[in-house]
Structure 1
Amino acid sequence: SLLTFWNVAATAQLTVEAVPPNAVEGQDALLPAHSEGQKFYGYIWYKGSQVHESHLIIRHIIRSNITVTGPAYTGRETVYPNGSLLLQNLTLNDSGVYTLQKVDEVLQSQNVVVKLSVYQPVTQPSIQTINSTVAEDDSVTLTCLSEGHAAVSIRWLFNNEELRLTDRMKLTRNNSVLTIDPVWRADAGLYQCEVSNPVSSRKSGLFRLVVLFDPTRSPGLSGGAIAGIVVGSVAGVTLAAALAYFLYFRKTGGASDGHHLTEHKLSASNHSQGPFENHLSKVDEIAYSALNFNAQQPKSPAPASPTPAASETIYSEVKKK
């Protein structure tokens, strides 16, 4: 009886998806019953997860071919002999969960839960900004606008490829606003944003960003970085010049001092008495020899007079040994 049919209890539950699971507003969707190979007494469809009269869409008794509609019936629902339910001309309000109660010959029931999502096709977005021409090292903000669609995904494209974010680029939480700070000349080009949902996607028109820059500057370097490079270069040149001057002064000044010291020792050797000469240490002899060697390296020819002194120096060394 119909009363018994109302009070059957579910013994199992199966969750499936509608066909298609993500449907477009205005199209149709099928809610499958999955009743193949089984015999049932009847089918009951409810809107929502609760099996209650207030949520009844349609009740169909197979043997008597009786169909009864309920409070949730809209006139766009059709039940098939296998228990599947067709929803026509979908609206956004049709999204949600549907429950099918299948009753067998002994009045045992099996519940099937069907999920359906209905979306509007997205509209073409647009990119807005305060200024499409910016100077290098300034900042720019691009906003992707899509009317009437809150639950959409947004991605950005640059020169027809997906934008590769750098540490200078920031996106808002929903990706609708792109900020570049600072702007480099490499950021100049064509930008697009694409909005999508599970049933559609659209791209904005091309937006050209123009970046003004100083052609004498290296690309990708800020003013502070360039100033640092200039200061570092000047400091390096100054240090190199100071080092070269020091080495030159050491070489020329040392040679001159050695020459004067050698002449002084030669004069002392020629005029010293024997006892003083006997007190010369080996260190003095070595220093004397080394300084005399340096004295023999001047660019101009040595005077004729020091030559005998050099011979005397060698003789003195042999004599000491």
Structure 2
Amino acid sequence: MEPPSAPAHGGRISWHRLLLAVSLLSFWNLPATAQITIESVPFNVAEGSDVLLLAHNATEDTLGYSWYRGERVENNQLIILYRVDIQANTTGPAYSGREIIYPNGSLLFQNATQNDTGYYTLMVTKNDLQREIVTGLLRVYHPVAKPIIEANSTTVTEQKDTVVLTCIINDTEVSIRWLFNGQSLLLTERIKLSQENSTLTIEPVRREDAGHYQCEASHPGNSSLSDPLRLDVKFDSIPGSTSGVSDRLEGQVTGMISQSTNPQTSTIVSHSHVNYSPNKIDEVTYSSLNFNAQESKKHSSASPPSPTATEMIHSEVKKKERNATSPARCTADLFQASQPHPQETPFPSGKMGRGSFPLFIPQ
């Protein structure tokens, strides 16, 4: 028979196991405490600006905060210490006079310099004298110098010249971008960058490239923008120009003319200012318009006496450029000159007629 004490012995073992399980369960369910972290605000700072090493997840059971220069806790690298209970701080050997500590443990650097770049260590002391240590990095960059643009030429001719703009900057480890009329420059097959974006080449140049150019140099800390450089592009508005755009003028002349027995030639001489959108061209001079015998052979009439007459006619001239057509007005004088030999005229003898003729603009 089993001893009476056996069940009791077995019961004691089960009880101890139960107590151990309850203890472990209680330990596992303890509320988790977030670890202290450091954030640089801003992450990258320009020299001369203020920067904050922000302490996250500080708890109320904190006795004090201590900041050190470097990645270790060393008394000779102590910057400043803050006691929460008495709300007082004590400076250390690494204190420069520009650091301010806040009650939440954050450290502010005023007028940061490049010498401030490096690692910083925060030690948090709890009320139970337990310590938590965390390290953060501070980056301070020198200000970017103002760049200057140099150009091989600022006045160029469309489709003939090549423009080369160079962004001059003494700083190293900077990024360069280009702006055209205040907007980021759009690169194309004609517009390219080289030499780590410091050189802008436009080949060949076109009239739409005229405007203001700037270059911006930047690093993670800050940026600097050059003064605008103006580029002027000259172009021809006559047919056959190098713009690659048709500038041909054509139109119709409609007018009243009188008849003559011997009109060999009718001549139109006019001067007109043409103004159209989007491009305005200079004054255009129309040399002459001849209605010769080839035109008059289409008609037959008697040969009345040979008068000479002048009539005002109006023509509508249109400029054809790409797919756009814009009207312009011009005024012409019609002169009919007599010739010694009779020729047929487009209108019956002794009558006034109204006709429409092609207008060819001599160049």
* 1:140 correspondence with 2:148: no
Structure (1/2) with the larger helix percentage: 1
Whole-Å separation in 2 of the counterparts to 1:141 and 1:186: 16
How many residue pairs get matched? 210
- What is the TM-score when the length of structure 1 is the normalising length? 0.53
* 1:190 correspondence with 2:212: yes
The residue type equivalent to 1:42 in the other structure is G
Whole-Å separation in 1 of the counterparts to 2:134 and 2:195: 37
* 1:98 correspondence with 2:120: yes
Which residue number in structure 2 is paired with residue 251 of structure 1?
none
Which residue number in structure 2 is paired with residue 73 of structure 1?
95
Fraction of identical pairs, as percent: 50
Cα pair 1:46 1:100 within 8 Å, conserved? yes
Which residue number in structure 1 is paired with residue 54 of structure 2?
32
Could you say what secondary structure the match of 2:42 adopts? strand
Shift of 1:194: 2.8
Match of 1:131 among 129, 134, 153: 153
RMSD: 3.4
For structure 1, list consecutive stretches of 5 or more residues without a partner in the other structure. Answer: 1-10, 222-321
Whole-Å separation in 1 of the counterparts to 2:225 and 2:160: 29
The residue type equivalent to 1:28 in the other structure is D
For structure 2, list consecutive stretches of 5 or more residues without a partner in the other structure. Answer: 1-32, 246-363
**Over residues 179-224 of structure 1, what are the superposed CA-to-partner deviations in whole Å (9 max), with x where a residue is unaligned?**
2233344433322223345565443322122345565245369xxx
The residue type equivalent to 2:181 in the other structure is N
Which of these two proteins has the greater Rg computed from alpha carbons?
Answer: 1
More displaced 10-residue stretch of structure 1: 131-140 or 212-221: 212-221
* 1:85 correspondence with 2:107: yes
Shift of 1:178: 1.2
The residue type equivalent to 1:190 in the other structure is H
Whole-Å separation in 1 of the counterparts to 2:182 and 2:109: 40
The residue type equivalent to 1:39 in the other structure is D
Q: Following superposition, which runs of at least 4 residues in structure 1 exceed 6 angstroms of deviation?
A: none
Could you say what secondary structure the match of 1:41 adopts? strand
Shift of 1:156: 1.3
- What is the TM-score when the length of structure 2 is the normalising length? 0.48
* 1:118 correspondence with 2:143: no
The residue type equivalent to 2:176 in the other structure is I
Shift of 1:16: 3.1
The residue type equivalent to 2:166 in the other structure is T
Taking the TM superposition and a 5 Å limit, the aligned residue runs for 1:152-191 are 152-172=174-194, 174-191=196-213
Could you say what secondary structure the match of 1:33 adopts? strand
The residue type equivalent to 2:184 in the other structure is E
